[in-house]
Amino acid sequence: MEYRQTEKEEDLNLYQQKINEKLEDTDGIQDVQIELNKIKNVIAESAKESLGEEKGRRNEEWFDEECRTAIQEKNYMKKIMLQRMTRSSKETYGEDRRRANKICRERKREMLKRQIESIEVDRERADTRKYYQTVNRFRKGFQPRLNACKHNSGKQIERDDKILEHWTRYFKTQSEKEYSEEESDGGVFLTVEPLIKEPSQEEMEKAICNLKINKAPGEDDIIAELIKNASQELKRKDPCIDM
């Protein structure tokens, strides 16, 4: 879920204040991973309490109360028709279904008209980013999600258990291949990883400043804007925030 972004100065100040208050609970933590998880929770909770939470809803641009009522009536008549299969119940259900479909089509048509008008406005205002985002949505159309992978032979694998089995075999083969190559070189040698210097505060602030905005959040649901607009106390707290 993504958190609602706002340009209001009071919301930003409240967000930073919430962060500073919650950071007090992270004092004294010695474990780096635990402290990192605490900081992530501080950012997420502070944003939710100060900026609010916005959840995406499917078809919210056109699906209104009239559509919902028409579909409920259609579903109700379908139950009646299945309980008592008569000519009258079939005709009534057919009328309600055609009416619901007509209302939904009209709402979708109105939504498309508004989107086209919005594209024209963005073009006139030279808002390039919004203009191309909307145009690309029109060009791509509906993109169904497909959980699949491709076999070495080119065949597509779709079932979850088959996909898991395929990747298990793949990584097992890769592991055996690497091990055999190491043995052929005269044995396996364990080496210490090179020491990586801890980043300075200046380098950390520069990295945060260079974060790109208007990007989707990662697995922790934290967008770059929340890190860039966080308080200075949090930015100085720990140099391990994921970016």
**pLDDT tens, position by position, 71-105:** 999 999 999 998 888 889 899 999 999 999 999 99
Instruction: Specify the pLDDT at position 6.
Output: 40
Instruction: Specify the pLDDT at position 211.
Output: 86
Q: Give yes or no for a contact between 5 and 222, defined as CB atoms under 8 angstroms apart.
A: no
Instruction: Specify the pLDDT at position 70.
Output: 93
As a whole number, the mean pLDDT across the chain is: 79
Residue 218: C-alpha distances to residues 5, 46, 84, 187, 242 (Å): 17, 18, 52, 40, 9
- Please return the burial class of 111, using the count of CB atoms within 10 Å of its CB with bins 0-12, 13-18 and 19+: middle
Instruction: Specify the pLDDT at position 26.
Output: 67
Name the DSSP letter for residue 230.
Answer: S
Q: Give yes or no for a contact between 147 and 163, defined as CB atoms under 8 angstroms apart.
A: yes
Which runs of consecutive H residues, i.e. helices, occur in the chain?
9-23, 32-50, 65-83, 87-124, 128-140, 160-184, 201-209, 224-228, 232-237
Using 50 as the pLDDT threshold, list the residues of the chain that sit under it: 1-7, 239-243
Instruction: Specify the pLDDT at position 98.
Output: 94
- The structural domains of the chain, with segments of one domain joined by +, span 1-56, 65-140, 149-179
Centre a 10 Å sphere on the Cβ of residue 77 and count the other Cβ atoms it contains.
Answer: 20
For residue 77, the one-letter residue type is: M
Name the DSSP letter for residue 2.
Answer: E
Instruction: Specify the pLDDT at position 3.
Output: 45
| Distant-in-sequence, close-in-space partners of 71: CB < 8 Å, separation ≥ 6 | 100, 104
Model pTM score: 0.47
